Structure 1
Amino acid sequence: MLWLSSPGARAATLPAIWLIATDRRPATLPERSALRRGLARSILANQFNLDPEAVTLDHEPAGRPLIANPHGSGLHLSLATRAGLVAVALSHQPAGVDVEGVELTAEPPLAALHPGERAMLQALPPPARPLAFAQLWSAKEAYVKALGTGFRRAPESFLVRLAGLDLFEVDDPERPGAALAGASRIMKNGGHGTMAAAFIELA
């Protein structure tokens, strides 16, 4: 798996996640969508060695993005935007990516978490909780994107376990068996504060 920071970088292997810091501050859903889709088209054009005009994106009825052109790539796409930071994930398997800001002054919404996640957060010293919550929530959102459900799947219905700053696991009672492993990334970049990104791929 590759983490890339330039829209002009080409991934030699997949999965790959591009985390692109921009100076944009989209304020509405259409603005955020235009920003991430525009960057995704540029990244895919570079990856496929095509002109950007030859790349088009569509979405499934449930909202998950897909590559409409070029046809038949067989690749899965996931997108996220937060505070001008855009994440674009490309994978051979269904996958999800998300980015969340670390809100130092906000109280984490514990009721939206699995009981095991609430216990983990409450066991931490208060200063450590905002970063841990951003990691948890980005992992949870990446997972439901990979499922294709979004948060029609209740966030408290599955458990995310953090394993340091760069790994997490998902235990889902609806997918019995071994826990799924995902990857996290913590970054600081100008104007965006501290951000937590998460990526997971379904086997």
Structure 2
Amino acid sequence: MTGPAPTRTKGPGPLATGDRDVGIRVWSMRVPSARELDAFDLSVLDAEERRRMTAFRRPDDRVRYGFAHVALRRILAARLDVEPYEVRFGRDPCPVCAGPHGRPVLDAPSARTRFSLSHCGQWVLIALAELTVGVDVEGIPGDTTVTDVVRALHPAERAAVEAVPLAERGAAFARVWARKEAYLKGIGTGLGRDLAQDDTGAPIPGWRLVDLPVDDEHAAALAVHSPRPPAIDMHHALP
């Protein structure tokens, strides 16, 4: 990252690497060019995924979405020993209102695998585990965005961001925001939960938050519902 982490960041721990059959696997991949996307079989996407992809006006957004969802299908298919087009998705009930719009899940009663997907800029991140997980990647925002949005964070998070030099504040904010979104994805509420409710720089009972390596223009984080620090295998190529 471009600068040091906020001064109050005891919650997220260092990246650990474990055996592939234990813990969490995270795929961190660069988005291909439009020409390179032709090498991926977009026909594995279902009708709703294709509709969403074609709805994007900007070609870069279509490429990013298409690659991310083909990648997710290929990774899950390898785990389930099925073809990518055979993977079916559903939703958990929303933990706030019990509506059918909670975290995405596999539509298979016997499936123990949990997953989370995030994409931003040139990055796609996918987390896979038999624990509840959330993953997020964010671009480094400009000063105006930081000033406007930091007010919505937990007071301790806001203080941590504002404690770093102005030139490093965007990177500090992105790290906090990535942790928060990863956690909110993990608990299934998304941004429907009050952003000031949780301090992701402090321990959250039952959860582990980990910063993930990307580049100097982004921040990424993983949230895992586990009493112990996660062992993480990082991957950079599709199965």
TM range, smaller chain: 0.7 to 0.9
Whether 2:68 is the aligned partner of 1:45: answer no
Q: Which runs of 5+ in 1 are unaligned?
A: 4-9, 162-168, 172-177
Q: Which runs of 5+ in 2 are unaligned?
A: 1-14, 35-52, 93-99, 227-239
Equivalent position to 2:214, from 187, 193, 201: 187
Give how far 1:196 is off: 1.1
Equivalent-residue separation in structure 2 for 1:159 and 1:45 (angstroms): 36
Aligned to 2:101: 62
Give how far 1:51 is off: 2.3
Aligned to 1:202: 225
Give how far 1:133 is off: 0.7
Give how far 1:64 is off: 1.6
Equivalent-residue separation in structure 2 for 1:85 and 1:17 (angstroms): 13
Aligned length: 179
Aligned to 1:122: 162
State the superposition RMSD in angstroms. Answer: 2.9
Sort the Cα spacing of 1:113 and 1:131 in 2 relative to 1 into closer, same or farther, 3 A: same
**If the length of structure 2 is used for normalisation, what is the TM-score?**
0.65
Equivalent position to 1:19, from 3, 28, 33: 28
- Superposed, which structure 2 residues align to 1:80-99 within 5 Å? 80-99=118-137
Amino acid across the alignment from 1:12: D
Equivalent-residue separation in structure 2 for 1:138 and 1:86 (angstroms): 13
**If the length of structure 1 is used for normalisation, what is the TM-score?**
0.75
Give how far 1:181 is off: 2.4
Contact 1:16/1:91, CA 8 A, preserved across alignment? yes
Amino acid across the alignment from 1:103: P
From the two aligned structures, give the one with the greater helix fraction. 2
Amino acid across the alignment from 2:223: I
Between 110-119 and 15-24, report the one with greater CA deviation.
Answer: 15-24
Between 128-137 and 51-60, report the one with greater CA deviation.
Answer: 51-60
Equivalent-residue separation in structure 1 for 2:22 and 2:196 (angstroms): 34
Give how far 1:104 is off: 4.6
Between 100-109 and 139-148, report the one with greater CA deviation.
Answer: 100-109
Q: Report percent identity of matched pairs.
A: 28
Sort the Cα spacing of 1:33 and 1:98 in 2 relative to 1 into closer, same or farther, 3 A: same
Q: Moved runs in structure 1, 4+ residues, more than 3 A?
A: 24-35, 104-107
Equivalent position to 1:72, from 110, 123, 126: 110
Contact 1:100/1:137, CA 8 A, preserved across alignment? yes
Give how far 1:106 is off: 4.3
Provide Cα deviations, 1:81-137, integer angstroms capped at 9, x if missing partner: 111411111122221111101125544122111111111111111122111111100
Contact 2:125/2:135, CA 8 A, preserved across alignment? yes
